[in-house]
Chains A and B, each alone.
Chain A
């Protein structure tokens, strides 16, 4: 029996599924970490993803080209990012209210338009061009590893590249520094002559684009060319949790997404042993524990610094 569990867990299928599940979350998280760095609490990602998925499906269907669908989702992402920044940055509205409203708006508008365009049963029965799966030569021959890494939607591989590029952008470009400074200490940025508001706009637009991509992947890659109402299925919240978990570091956010993907895959594969609903709670609980840990360790750090100061003051 035990043998059986372990062989089910360490089946290549588990890890292949982990990659599949992690990718849309990771893409959105890459966007979310931009707004997080810029000091905007963005819980509207779920809506951004959902609208991205819809626009991608519509674009792909009407242009008869998956590439056009992706492009449409990215362009739309820019618009959504602008809209989000207009409220949160320019009008200084409550980020939470706007995020909440954006999610509900997305739910409503995509369902409404989907029914108007495709009818009650969504895109099933319509030919929405999707993205092909990619087999990596050579690697696919390696036992186990080949089954895990090869044969995914192209987005899975693009995400790896994007994680690296985002890491480069955030930590190794001047603008990355400015965006981080705009969230952590906007007045500092202002005193060195850069406009923190502008950085927040840029972060917000980037977030929109990444969420658009995540959505495009959902409808054109993950589900092979279909739009389903509410298909973002709380992935925006999961991505948000990843960002918090990873302290907005791109590779770490990807690892967090893999963790979610792993528990997702595990839940599916272990259904006969443990309820997938129970395994599903684990990543969220870990995120809460992480938050508590971060707060406590920050307090510890402050106390330690004060103690050092004290010793220097009164030797």
Chain B
């Protein structure tokens, strides 16, 4: 078979991030190729290069043997490439037909936009591909499933032969997913199109793709024929870093329950249920790890527990106190510290200094204020300097803005601040995302230190190795539900992959 697309040693660097690292990959005409990997693995970046949104910082791209020199969407469209983005590229107030023809509008009387023709063309496409949608409806009034159809129709209108779908099922119901897959199969079969699908849902890879490429941390880990692999093999390729760590000493027995969650329901940003009836408890002196593939409700769950997200239904109890309907400040006062998933948007004030970021949460404490309001800068600086050294933060001192530091050091600032509250409960999300191996070891040691000191720790990480290494118990989360609960030393990674992808298990006693 001929190569439809060939990436040759492609690298893409954004300020401070190497998003794609020397990637070489060929995709054939008429196949469904799945690209899998955790968030931030570089899948979208690679596809944005193919679609001309990013120009690679190094390497070459060939489409049907032709070397690509002009990197812009216009040229990509002319090469017959269409992309359906994860965040839909639609104008909400326009009608379906207007969105489909945008940029290549049918005209009448020379200069006028021919709306009727646009609707007629849309109807033709709808009939040809069986993607039912009302051309006259405004996009903001239709469901996300239909919006996605509009996106696909948009690429077909532009004569796409290669269709890139970025996380297409993230917003779909199971029925809508089935319908989408039916459409993909039919356009590949009947129009001999090439489809690239970016996803991290492995059963979908199995259901729809011919071949699959796995990415991790900007690198292409491997390419397989889908028929020759299963979900567990893919899962182990996706997660985990190939490093061997020293053993961590976990001492002490778990004590009283510190965080208890019962039948919890939480909605995501679109108002859809992300957590659906989760129940579990975290005891003092243990680490409870959450193993789940990105987007199965773990982010919303942790935000709900720490008061950053509204709880729709169910109860959360922290150290015996009700935490439902409380502000983050009140929940902190109950004894919860939080290392948030996205440190840049939630965990730090980028423009404030390191010292100010280390102080946050303690700014009202007596020792930092004279007369209760006048900040004692020298005491604050001394305190900050102490933490700076204790947590081995490396940078140009405590007076520079946190935003100018590397990801790992920024995370140390967050951890230094949150861990020194000595709270009975800690909620930790993605503690080592974007952090190098050396610093990773440091964070792990710190987390176990807190555990051994008797803190209850709820940990969520995309890195399965990390979850296994730190946790005493592990729960798996799938589509917002707890699908299993295990002792970390009584289960293997392969087995747990099973529950992360939908199998159910009654809680072990």
Which of A's residues lie within 8 Å of B, judged by CB? 168, 172-174, 176-178, 180-181, 184-185, 187-194, 301-303, 305-310, 312-314
Contact = CB atoms under 8 A, between A and B. Distances in A.
Question: 5 closest A-B pairs (Cβ-Cβ)?
Answer: A306-B271, A193-B74, A192-B103, A188-B89, A174-B105
Given A172-B112, A306-B272, A188 B90 contact: yes
A203 B224 CA distance: 51
A51 B77 CA distance: 44
A296 B245 CA distance: 54
A313 B90 contact: no
Contacts of A307: 271
B271 A177 contact: no
Nearest to A313: B173
Contacts of A305: 141, 143, 271
A173 B112 CA distance: 5
Contact of B89 (A168, A173, A191, A308): A191
Nearest to B75: A193
A181 B103 CA distance: 10
B89 A303 contact: no
Interface string B139-182: 01101100000000010001000000000000001000000000
A189 B271 CA distance: 27
B419 interface: no
Contacts of A194: 103
B47 to A, nearest CB: 12
Nearest to A168: B112
A207 B83 CA distance: 34
B137 to A, nearest CB: 13
B272 A193 contact: no
Contact of B113 (A177, A188, A190, A191): A177
Contacts of A185: 89-92
A293 B144 CA distance: 25
A180 B104 CA distance: 15
A308 B140 CA distance: 13
Given A177-B98, A193-B72, A312-B143, 12 more contacts: A174-B105, A180-B91, A180-B94, A181-B94, A188-B89, A189-B91, A189-B102, A301-B140, A303-B271, A305-B143, A309-B144, A312-B173
B73 A190 contact: yes
15 contacts: A174-B105, A177-B98, A177-B113, A181-B91, A185-B89, A185-B92, A189-B91, A189-B102, A191-B85, A192-B103, A193-B77, A193-B103, A302-B271, A303-B271, A313-B272
B271 to A, nearest CB: 3
B396 interface: no
Nearest to B142: A305
Nearest to B103: A192
B273 interface: yes
A174 to B, nearest CB: 4
A107 B103 CA distance: 41
B267 interface: yes
A309 B77 contact: no
A144 B272 CA distance: 58
Nearest to B98: A177
Nearest to B88: A188
A308 to B, nearest CB: 7
Interface residues of B, number: 36
B399 interface: no
B188 interface: no
A190 B102 CA distance: 11
A39 to B, nearest CB: 12
Given A185-B89, A302-B271, A177 B105 contact: yes
Interface string B226-268: 0000000000000000000000000000000000000000010
B272 A309 contact: yes
Contacts of B154: 192
B225 interface: no
Given A177-B98, A177-B102, A312-B173, A184 B91 contact: yes
B112 to A, nearest CB: 5
A310 B105 contact: no
A10 B112 CA distance: 41
A310 B90 contact: no
A309 B83 contact: no
A188 B91 contact: yes
A306 B312 CA distance: 14
A306 to B, nearest CB: 3
Given A173-B113, A174-B105, A314 B273 contact: yes
Contacts of B83: 191
A310 to B, nearest CB: 7
A277 B221 CA distance: 73
Contacts of B77: 192-193
Interface string B89-112: 111111000100011110100011
B273 A173 contact: no
A310 B267 CA distance: 10
Contacts of A193: 72-74, 77, 103
Contacts of A189: 91, 102-103
Interface string B48-76: 00010100000000000000000011100
B270 interface: yes
A309 B143 contact: yes
B279 interface: no
B143 A308 contact: yes
B39 interface: no
The residue in A188, A301, A305 that gathers the most chain B C-beta atoms within 10 A of its C-beta is A188
Given A184-B91, A188-B91, A193-B74, A174 B271 contact: no
B107 A174 contact: yes
B295 to A, nearest CB: 15
B8 interface: no
A184 B92 contact: yes
Given A190-B73, A191-B83, A191-B89, A181 B273 contact: no
B271 A181 contact: no
Given A176-B113, A305-B143, A312-B173, A184 B273 contact: no
Contact of B267 (A177, A181, A188, A306): A306
B273 A310 contact: yes
A312 B271 CA distance: 13
Contacts of A168: 112
The residue in A184, A189, A191, A307 that gathers the most chain B C-beta atoms within 10 A of its C-beta is A191
